[in-house]
Amino acid sequence: MQIQGLAGGPFQTNTYVVVGKPGASGRSEAFVIDPGKDMAGPVREIVDKAGAELVAVVLTHGHIDHTRDCAEFGVPVYIHPDDAVMLDPKWGAPGNFGQIFEVDAMKQPEDLRHVEIGRMEFAGLGFRTVHAPGHSPGCVLFIAEDEDVVFAGDVLFAGSIGRTDLPLSDPAAMDRTLAGPVWDLDDKLTVLPGHGPATTVERERATNPYLKAAGQGR
């Protein structure tokens, strides 16, 4: 597995390009996680440089800063069914976000598929998929089977967590997510979040005030 991250768009959202195993064509397959605004071009450059074929877009959740360019690649787009409604900018781009992200020019996926909770494969790579609602109803943690990595979206950041004051957010659900599936993550995992720098589960368990509080309430 090769992972290249890049930050962009109005909110400096992290996009991750993951190159996996060779497909039927003999070329390595790749997928992109959370392609935000203006990320289509840079993603294509990374995939082309790797000599890979992009086969999927995977969304950790449905907010516009993570989904804006999801339909720019002509490949299947995966999202948890609880967040699929957010691809409608009315829900995924509340307030003035629509203007900031130019949603009037946003394409809609032609091949929309649901993330299945349990296990999924992308580009020949296996991931444990864990439902982690709170920041949005359909947040998902993607935990790699062959690498010590979790793609956490806006569930967990270095020193913080995702907001719970947005439409369809649920503070109580976030508390349950932190005390349950997030707390249960292996310490050795590197956390690749939706914003900001990478961190580790071990570091966040020891220093993140939100996660520490959730752990104390278990």
Cβ atoms 176, 134 nearer than 8 A: yes
Cβ atoms 119, 86 nearer than 8 A: no
Global pTM reads: 0.95
**Cα–Cα distance for residue pair 62/108, rounded to 1 Å:** 13
83 burial via Cβ count (<10 Å: 0-12, 13-18, 19+): buried
DSSP the chain: -EEEEEEETTTTEEEEEEEEEE-TTSSEEEEEE---TT-HHHHHHHHHHTT-EEEEEE-SS--HHHHTTTTSSSS-EEE-GGGGGGGSHHHHSTTTHHHHTTGGG----SSEEEPPSEEEEETTEEEEEEE--SSSTT-EEEEESSSSEEEEETSEETTEE--S-STT--HHHHHHHIIIIITTS-TTPEEEESBS--EEHHHHHHH-HHHHHHHHT-
**pLDDT tens, per residue, the chain with 218 residues:** 999 999 999 999 999 999 999 988 889 999 999 999 999 999 999 999 999 999 999 999 999 999 999 999 999 999 999 999 999 877 777 778 888 898 888 899 999 999 999 999 999 999 999 999 999 999 999 999 999 999 999 999 999 999 999 889 999 999 999 999 999 999 999 999 999 999 999 999 999 999 999 988 77
Domains of the chain (ranges, CATH numbers): 2-216 (3.60.15.10)
User: Which residues, listed in sequence order, are joined to residue 131 by a DSSP beta bridge?
Assistant: 140
